Structure 1
Amino acid sequence: MIKSIRLQFTLWYIGSLSLLALIFGGIAFVSFQSVLVDNLDQMLYNGGKILADGLAEYRLQNAHDPQSLYDAEEKAFWIDEMDEEIHEIFYINEAYIQLLAAAEAYAPNLPIISKTATLNDQRLPLSPQAYRAIQDADYHAETVKHLFTFPLRVLSLQVHDMDGRPYILQLGISLQDTHTTLRHLLSILSALFPSLLVILSLLGYVFMKRVFSPVKRMVALTKQITAEDLSHRLDPTASRDEIGELAATLNDMIARLEQSFQQITQFSGNVAHELKTPLAELKCNAEVALRHDRPPEEYRAALQHVIADVEQLQTVVEDLLLLAKLDTQALSLKFAPVELNEVFFEAFEALHPRAAQKHLAVHFEEIDAASIHGEQRLLLRAFTNLMLNAIQYTPAGGEIRFALRRHAEEAMFTISDTGIGIPAEVLPAIFDRFYRVEQSRSHETGGSGLGLSIAQKIVEIHHGTITVSSIVNAGTIFNLKFPCLPQ
């Protein structure tokens, strides 16, 4: 097995062009042979027409006695003229000509009226195919191989004398010169093919080396790329061929990998930071409680602090586990028709006590019935995270507005608040995992920084979109769009 693609392509290149050269040489050889034979046939036919015109001036058979022998005097005159015509027509090649008496039915040995001295005691054969062909066509040409030591090209045609009596005229000419010419041509082609093969091999090697040189450079540079250093990029090629496209695609892939590794590194740091704080509080509370004997009430308060820290850790771990399952599609999802308005009311009923505790005014602008194809548990989680975010970051006495509208084949859920808002420069980053506008917010709200990331991932799984707009100290608006099921 040849493992080098460059060598494989080189061999394919050489083999393909060599095959084309063989095919072209074969076609050229056959075409040249056909042209030579056609020229011979045309020369024989032209000579036959001249002899036929001369025969039409003679009466070879005795008119008073049709059953008698052919008129010897007329026959002699025509033979003399035939000899003269032969020298004028076939002045280069030696011709073999005979005139046969025609018959109503085919016979292999029809009477010979006359023939040239070149035939000696031989006669040109008349095949059944030739006899039948000349009854309807102008002539019939065929190759005779076993009459002499060399092959003959024999042409047969029907002619008539002065009285319209039919005869069969056959003309033959040697194919020896034609075969000699073809052998020379074949020798030339056979001698040229090895030279052509060598030239094609050199051209193929140079061509493939030049074509694959960018690939070799890419391979060498790719070997330098590691997880610790993804800053390298492949040299972009000026051409717009597949190799240039491959280089651009690999550069895009490396850029995505670099971004992913950066996110993983940042994510790992954020996870460590999120876990470090509650763990430190756990340790601190335990150490303070164990420093000296305390009343039961103080131990109970310390344990309550420990439980709160454990709950925060549990929330972070559960959110991380859910995100990991969503990323790897390891979560078992059962999509079915879901009524978004029912999911919204379920989430609202669960969080309404928190809103009432902060004395938040809740308004329902419009809640339409809208059905989508989705997973109810995940949609409930997304709605809950967005509502909880609005409740947490809206000061006491503020307002939260909800709307669920259906437009054609699209459902839009909107949640707006009069909270503290988000600066415009950080809006693109609020869906990043563990991202907080201010780190102090996590201590005030107890959030893990994963709620919006989970909500965005759930919306994307349902082929929807989520957008946000905000004004500092004025409020924030989240818009969710989902494709609806037909009504």
Structure 2
Amino acid sequence: MKHIWVKLALVIMTVGACAVLFSSLLSVKEMDVHFSMYANEVRNQHNQEISRVALQAYQDHQGWGAEAYHKLEAVSEVLGLHITLLDQQRQVKKEWGKRSIHTSNYSVDKIPLVSKGVMIGQLVIRHDDRSAYMTLESHFQWAHKNTTLWTMAVLLILVMIISIPLARTMVRPVVQVSTAAQRVARGNLSIRVPEPRGKDEVTSLVAAFNNLVQSLEHQEELRKRLTSDIAHELRTPLNTLLAQVEGMIDGIWEATPKNLENTRSEVLRLSRLVRDLDQVIQVESGSLQMRSEEVELREVVKEVTESMSATFARAQVNFHFKGDHAVWIKGDRQRLAQIVANLLTNACKHTPAGGEVVVTVDKPSTMVRLQVKDSGTGIDQKDLPYVFERFYRGDRSRARERGGAGLGLTIVKGIVEAHKGIISLDSRVGEGTTITILFPPQAHEGEK
């Protein structure tokens, strides 16, 4: 199996090699072009200098003569060029320098000589490609190309040397995630991958993986707790019922109205548990039956609070309702009443005597708000992410004493989301809990 760092190293090498090759070829090409321009400029300067010397000699000596020929011969020897002087009829008057026996290894420049507006002759200059100057030019170009090739080779080696550790470093978090994922698949949910520095996609990947594993670990804990809690919730009333029935059969426990009422309470407890579990399953599977109608939320809340006034009175908890204006939403009236009842029941259970529960229904912005605030025991910050999980109970032993299986908020959250609402919770230990639900508003006929 080819490792990902090998593939990445090959990609880096390929890109680096292409970049080095391209830059080297471009450098050689540019050098050839600019050096050719330089060579042509030097050649033109030589031609101009030779023509200047020829004209000056012609003018100084009143024509072509030995002195003029001597100067042109000296120039030919110094520059290593073959110079031919033609007269006005383009006949050869004099030649200087050696002809190359390789007729293809030279180039020719023809320069007309004009003195005082009169054509006095023409210079034919042969530039031998094998001359010292041209040899120097070729040597310089060869040296540059050779240096470029060596530089390219060194750079390619450096790219190969750097690409391997660079690729390993870049993919190390990915490899760690892959290794950790294999261990997670084998059931090890405690593993975490160290997050690399920086804020790139790899860092996001590692963070997402760690969050996923943490969520899986929490879900596994919930699954184990769910199994344990269901077993306990079923075991307690079943054992009680079994003991009571066996007591009646054995004649130890009389079937008095009070004893039968206790038996009935345990049966109702089982019934509520099964009902709540069924609702949780419906909520999570999206199969919860919902009616869709215009509902005046304030009216629903008032009905529920009035029915629970005796409950708050027995618990010695002060209750206040705030809602001066009608607010309309679209939803299931019965399910909305269930939401309010669950929230108020929880608030009453967790608020000590003398405490306070405030319910607010209003429309502070574009959304309709239902808020339940209590001055109860509050919830620990570490437990806040899990309050809507199944069978969550902050104090499990006390929660059983107060009744309920920890499914109420799970059901509430599911019903709220089925109404396209948003539920949030804020709590401080010893200060109380505030649950806020936002519903999309519904325009009522009387308001249109």
TM-score by length of 2: 0.69
Q: Does 1:318 align with 2:317?
A: no
C-alpha spacing 1:344/1:18, structure 2 compared with 1 (3 Å): same
Mapped to 1, the partners of 2:340 and 2:154 lie a distance apart of 78
Mapped to 1, the partners of 2:42 and 2:377 lie a distance apart of 99
Give the counterpart letter for 1:368 in structure 2: H
Mapped to 2, the partners of 1:403 and 1:280 lie a distance apart of 42
Q: Does 1:13 align with 2:12?
A: yes
Question: Which of 397, 400, 409 is the aligned partner of 1:452?
Answer: 409
Larger deviation: 177-186 or 34-43?
177-186
1:282-323 per-position Cα deviation (integer Å, ceiling 9, x unaligned): 54566556668x999999989956852552232232243145
Trace 1:171-190 onto structure 2 (pairs within 5 A): 171-176=125-130, 177=135, 178-179=137-138, 182-183=141-142, 186=145
1:239-286 per-position Cα deviation (integer Å, ceiling 9, x unaligned): 777766655554444444333332332233223222333443454566
Mapped to 1, the partners of 2:354 and 2:195 lie a distance apart of 59
Question: Which of 55, 70, 84 is the aligned partner of 2:74?
Answer: 84
1:331-364 per-position Cα deviation (integer Å, ceiling 9, x unaligned): 589999976xx13423543664454587689754
Give the counterpart letter for 2:11 in structure 1: W
CA shift, 1:468, in A, is 4.8
C-alpha spacing 1:198/1:284, structure 2 compared with 1 (3 Å): same
Q: Does 1:482 align with 2:441?
A: no
Larger deviation: 18-27 or 296-305?
296-305
Give the counterpart letter for 1:276 in structure 2: R
CA shift, 1:219, in A, is 5.2
Matched with 1:258 is 217
Q: Does 1:403 align with 2:337?
A: no
Q: CA RMSD in A?
A: 5.2
Question: SS at the partner of 2:127?
Answer: strand
C-alpha spacing 1:81/1:221, structure 2 compared with 1 (3 Å): same
C-alpha contact (below 8 Å) 1:55/1:162 kept by paired residues: no
CA shift, 1:49, in A, is 1.7
C-alpha contact (below 8 Å) 1:29/1:185 kept by paired residues: yes
Larger deviation: 276-285 or 209-218?
209-218
CA shift, 1:204, in A, is 3.2
Matched with 1:63 is none
1:54-108 per-position Cα deviation (integer Å, ceiling 9, x unaligned): 4545789xxxxxxxxxxx95488755543333333x1xx434667697xxxxxxx
Question: SS at the partner of 2:363?
Answer: strand
Give the counterpart letter for 1:94 in structure 2: L
CA shift, 1:29, in A, is 2.0
Larger deviation: 23-32 or 172-181?
172-181
Q: Which has the higher helix share?
A: 2
C-alpha contact (below 8 Å) 1:238/1:244 kept by paired residues: yes
Give the counterpart letter for 2:343 in structure 1: L
Trace 1:399-478 onto structure 2 (pairs within 5 A): 401-409=358-366, 411-415=368-372, 422-424=376-378, 429=383, 431=387, 433-434=390-391, 435=393, 437=395, 439=397, 442=400, 445=403, 447-456=404-413, 462-468=421-427, 478=434
C-alpha spacing 1:438/1:336, structure 2 compared with 1 (3 Å): same
Question: SS at the partner of 1:407?
Answer: coil
Matched with 1:205 is 164
C-alpha contact (below 8 Å) 2:85/2:94 kept by paired residues: yes
CA shift, 1:480, in A, is 1.5
Matched with 2:36 is 37
C-alpha spacing 1:116/1:245, structure 2 compared with 1 (3 Å): farther
CA shift, 1:47, in A, is 1.7
Larger deviation: 270-279 or 173-182?
173-182
Question: Which of 217, 228, 231 is the aligned partner of 1:272?
Answer: 231
Matched with 1:142 is none
Q: How many residues are treated as equivalent by the alignment?
A: 425
Larger deviation: 211-220 or 273-282?
211-220
CA shift, 1:193, in A, is 5.3
C-alpha contact (below 8 Å) 1:96/1:173 kept by paired residues: no
Q: Does 1:149 align with 2:109?
A: no
Mapped to 2, the partners of 1:99 and 1:380 lie a distance apart of 119
Larger deviation: 11-20 or 219-228?
219-228
Larger deviation: 11-20 or 72-81?
72-81
Mapped to 2, the partners of 1:172 and 1:376 lie a distance apart of 108
CA shift, 1:451, in A, is 1.3
C-alpha contact (below 8 Å) 2:279/2:288 kept by paired residues: no
Mapped to 2, the partners of 1:197 and 1:405 lie a distance apart of 71
